[in-house]
Structure 1
Amino acid sequence: MPNRSDFRTVSLALRVAVLLYVGYGCHALAVDSPEFRGPNRNGIFQEKNLMKSWPEAGPKMLWSVEGLGQGYASVSIADGRLYTTGKQGDQGYAFAYDLKGKQLWSSAYGREHHGSGYPGTRTTPTVHGDKLFLVSSIGEVVALNTADGKVAWRVDMLERFGGGANRESLYPRFGIAESPLVVDNKVICTPGGKEAVMAALDPKTGKTLWKTKSIGDISGYCTPRLYQEGGRRMIVTMTSGSMIAVDPADGSLIWRQGYPATYNIHAVSPVWQGPYIYVSDGYGQGGACFKMADNGKSVKQVWDEKTLDIHHGGTVLINDYIYGASNSKNLICLKLNDGGVASSIRRFGKGSLIHADGLLIGYTERGKVKLVDPNPNDMKVISEFELELGSGQHWAHPVVSDGVLYIRRGKAMAAFDIRAK
C-alpha cells in the first residue's frame, strides 16, 4: 500500500499541474485579435464575461506605454504578444510588446508618406504564423519576423504593379491606408496600379502568386475582407471608385460594382449578412445596401440612406441591425432590411465602434470611450471615461482581447481591465 509520503508526493504533483495549467493553459485560451478590427475584420470580438458597466473614472488601467511615434494604427494580438506601428521622423517602425506592456523589440521597416497634413502610420499589422505583415503608406508590403522584428522581405507594390505610372499618381491623397489580408497562405494587397488592382504575394518570399487585372482605380484607403457565405468565398474591398469581389484562388475578378465616393475615400470595409453587403462613406454620402445575385456573379443596390455617413470609424452589423458613428456625431442604428433608422444617440461623437459581449464600445474623436447598450429600440450610453494619454487625433480603433481593452493614441497605448469581477 502507498504510504503517507507517497500521498504527499502525488498531492504536490497535482498542485504543480494545476498551477501550470492556470499559468499556461489560460494563455492558450486567450482570445487573439491578429488583424485589423478583430479576427473577422468586422469589429466584432468574441469575448465573454466582460463588465456590463464601468466605474465612474473608467475601468482600471493595467499599463500604458509611450514612444510609439505618430500613428493611427490599431493593435494586433497573437500568441501572447501585441503589435503596432508608428512613424518617427520619416521612418516607419513596427513594435512588439508582451501583454504586460514590456517592449520586446522595435524595428524600422522603411519610409512613410507625409500624410498631406496627417502624418503617421495607417497600417495595423497582420499576424500569420511567424510573420508580421504590413502595408506602408507609400505602398510597400513588408514582412517581419515576429520573433525579433527583422525584415524578411519587402515588395514595392506600386513599382511592381504600377505599370510604369508616375508613383504619385498611384497614391491616394493621404497615402495608402491598408492592413493586408492573409487568406489561403497568400498575402493580399491592393496596389490599384495599371497592371493590377489586387495582388497575392507568397508569405515566405514576397513572390507574386496572382494579380487581378487593373480596373483603372487606385487604392481607396480600404482594408480587404474575406466573404464566406452560402458556400461562396471571395475577397471584397473598396477601391477609389468601386466595390469589387475577387476569387482568392486565382485572383480573377468575380464582379465589380461602380460606387464613387467623395474625394475617392472609401475608408470603411464592407460588412455583410447573408447576401446583403453594406457600405458607408463620410462627407454626407451615407451608405448603401447591396444584394448579391443567386449565382454570386453580381450585386444590385436595394436601398441607400444618407444619415449614417461613416468617415473611417468602422461599421458593426449584428442581428439585422447596422451600427455606426456618423460624421454628424450621432450614433445611429439602421435596419438591414430597408435602411430605416431604428434608433440613434445624438451628440454621441464621431469615432470608431466595435462590439464585444453584447455591448458596443465607442472611441470618439474627442477622446471619450463609451460603453453602449445596442438595443435597437432604445440605444443608450451606459458608461464613459476620457482617454488623456498620447497626442494627436483619437483615430485608432479599440481592440478587446482576453478581457482587456487596448486603445492607441499617437505615441501612447494603454490597456484597461474590463473583465467582470
Structure 2
Amino acid sequence: MQGDRSKSSFVGGASLGAQDRDNRVEVPPAIVDSTTMNMTLLIAALGTLVPAQEWSQYRGPGGKGDATASTLVTSWSKDSNVVWHLPVPGKAWSSPIVHQGHAWLTNATADGKKLSLVKVDLKTGKIAGDFLLREVAEPQFCIPYNSHASCTPTARDGKIYVHYGSALTACVEADSGKVLWQRTDLPCNHHRGPGSSPLLWNDRLFLIYDGFDVQYVAALDIATGKTTWKADRGIDYGTDNGDMKKAYATPALLEVDGKPQLVCPSAGSTISYDPSSGKEIWRVKHGGMNASSIP
C-alpha cells in the first residue's frame, strides 16, 4: 500500500513495437502525491499514440506485468510523451485496465458510500461513461492510505468484472454500463479496506477474502455470479489477533505439469487450489502477515 496521501495518478504507457510484433500498452501501478482527492489518468506515447493491446487484468496479460514490446516509454513530463490527461474526482488505488479501446477505472468516494466504474475513450481522453454501481449506507472502516476502490477490475468479451471487497462484486456490460449481476453477500471484515483483485479463468471469477474475521477463496460463475466453490483457508495463524490474519494478495493461475493451479498467497501461508473444484493441492507455511504480492 502507499503512504497516507490523497491524490493518485494512473499512468498508461503506449509503445512502438517491432514490425513483427503487436503494439502494446503498459499500465503501471498508481503514482501518488499529497495535494487533492483527484485521480489523473495520463496516456503517454512515443511520438504518436499507437493502437492499444488488451490489458484486461491486474498487471496485464497473465498477470505478468510484461508489455512484451521492443520499445517502451519510460519518462513523462508536461511537454513530453503525454497525449492527454484527465482529472477524475474520487479516491481509488486500483490500476486501470484496457478493453475494447477504452480504459476502465474502479472508483469510489473517499468515504466509500458511492462505488463506481469509469470508462475513458483512449483516443480522445474523454469520459465515455461514469456508472454508479452501488451506494453503501454504512461502509466498512478504511485507513487513509487505502481506498474503497483498490481492487483492479478484469474484463473479457465486452464484460467488465469489478470487485470492491465485501461491499460489491459485479459484472458490467461494457457498451451500456448495465449491471448484469452483482454480489453483496460475500462477508469479510477487511478492517483496513480491500486490496485483492479478481482473476478470470474459463467460466470462473476467483476472489480472495483474507479478512480480520474470516479467510477464504471463492469462485463465481461468470454468467450468473453464483458461487461455484468456496474454500476456507483453515490456517493456524498462532494468534487470535485478526490483524495477523489479513492479507491483500491477488491470485495467479499457473500451469504445473500440464495442469492448472490457482495459487493464492495469504497471511502466514500460500495455498494452491484446483481451479475447477477448489480442492487444495498444496500449501506452504512461510510466516509473515498482510501478504499483498502476486505469485
Q: TM-score, normalised by structure 1?
A: 0.50
Report the alpha carbon displacement of residue 182 of structure 1 after superposing the two structures with TM: 0.6
RMSD: 2.9
Once residues 165 and 192 of structure 2 are traced to their aligned partners in structure 1, the CA distance between those partners, rounded to angstroms, is: 8
The alignment partner of 1:198 has SS state of strand
Larger Rg: 1
Q: Residue 159 of structure 2 aligns with which residue?
A: 131
| 1:279-307 deviations in Å (ceiling 9; x for gaps) | xxxxxxxxxxxxxxxxxxxxxxxxxxxxx
| 1:299-319 deviations in Å (ceiling 9; x for gaps) | xxxxxxxxxxxxxxxxxxxxx
Report the alpha carbon displacement of residue 255 of structure 1 after superposing the two structures with TM: 1.0
Contact kept in structure 2, 1:139 and 1:176, CA below 8 Å: no
Q: Residue 224 of structure 2 aligns with which residue?
A: 205
Q: Residue 106 of structure 2 aligns with which residue?
A: 85
Structure 2 letter corresponding to 1:103: I
Q: Residue 188 of structure 1 aligns with which residue?
A: 206
Report the alpha carbon displacement of residue 119 of structure 1 after superposing the two structures with TM: 4.9
Contact kept in structure 1, 2:141 and 2:191, CA below 8 Å: no
Once residues 219 and 198 of structure 2 are traced to their aligned partners in structure 1, the CA distance between those partners, rounded to angstroms, is: 10
Instruction: Tell me whether 1:140 sits opposite 2:168 in the alignment.
Output: yes
Q: Residue 16 of structure 2 aligns with which residue?
A: none
Kindly report which structure 2 residues correspond to 1:268-279, keeping only aligned pairs within 5 A, or say none. Answer: 268-270=293-295
Q: How many equivalent pairs are there?
A: 233
Q: Residue 257 of structure 1 aligns with which residue?
A: 284
Report the alpha carbon displacement of residue 54 of structure 1 after superposing the two structures with TM: 5.0
| 1:124-153 deviations in Å (ceiling 9; x for gaps) | 110122221122144532221111222222
Moved over 4 A (4+): 25-29, 53-58, 192-196, 216-219
Q: Which runs of 5 or more residues in structure 1 are unaligned?
A: 1-24, 160-169, 271-421
Instruction: Tell me whether 1:95 sits opposite 2:118 in the alignment.
Output: yes
Q: Residue 292 of structure 2 aligns with which residue?
A: 267
The alignment partner of 1:117 has SS state of coil
Once residues 155 and 71 of structure 2 are traced to their aligned partners in structure 1, the CA distance between those partners, rounded to angstroms, is: 26
Once residues 177 and 257 of structure 2 are traced to their aligned partners in structure 1, the CA distance between those partners, rounded to angstroms, is: 39
Once residues 214 and 192 of structure 2 are traced to their aligned partners in structure 1, the CA distance between those partners, rounded to angstroms, is: 22
| 1:173-213 deviations in Å (ceiling 9; x for gaps) | 32221111011210111234888721111112111112224
The alignment partner of 1:115 has SS state of coil
Once residues 232 and 191 of structure 2 are traced to their aligned partners in structure 1, the CA distance between those partners, rounded to angstroms, is: 23
Selected match of 1:42 from 61, 64, 74: 64
Contact kept in structure 2, 1:222 and 1:268, CA below 8 Å: yes
Contact kept in structure 2, 1:190 and 1:219, CA below 8 Å: no
Work out the percentage of aligned pairs sharing the same amino acid: 24
Cα gap change, 1:172 to 1:258, in 2 (>3 Å): farther
Q: TM-score, normalised by structure 2?
A: 0.70
Once residues 30 and 99 of structure 1 are traced to their aligned partners in structure 2, the CA distance between those partners, rounded to angstroms, is: 8
Report the alpha carbon displacement of residue 219 of structure 1 after superposing the two structures with TM: 5.2
The alignment partner of 1:66 has SS state of strand
Structure 2 letter corresponding to 1:62: V
The alignment partner of 2:62 has SS state of coil
Structure 2 letter corresponding to 1:178: S
Q: Residue 272 of structure 2 aligns with which residue?
A: 245
Q: Residue 227 of structure 1 aligns with which residue?
A: 254
Cα gap change, 1:119 to 1:57, in 2 (>3 Å): closer
Report the alpha carbon displacement of residue 252 of structure 1 after superposing the two structures with TM: 0.6
Contact kept in structure 2, 1:172 and 1:221, CA below 8 Å: no
Structure possessing the higher relative contact order (Cα contacts under 8 Å, 6 or more residues apart): 1
Cα gap change, 1:140 to 1:260, in 2 (>3 Å): farther
Contact kept in structure 1, 2:146 and 2:193, CA below 8 Å: no
Kindly report which structure 2 residues correspond to 1:11-410, keeping only aligned pairs within 5 A, or say none. Answer: 30-50=52-72, 59-88=80-109, 89=111, 90-100=113-123, 101-110=125-134, 111=136, 113-120=140-147, 121-156=149-184, 158-159=186-187, 170-192=188-210, 197-216=216-235, 220-261=247-288, 264-270=289-295
The alignment partner of 1:40 has SS state of helix
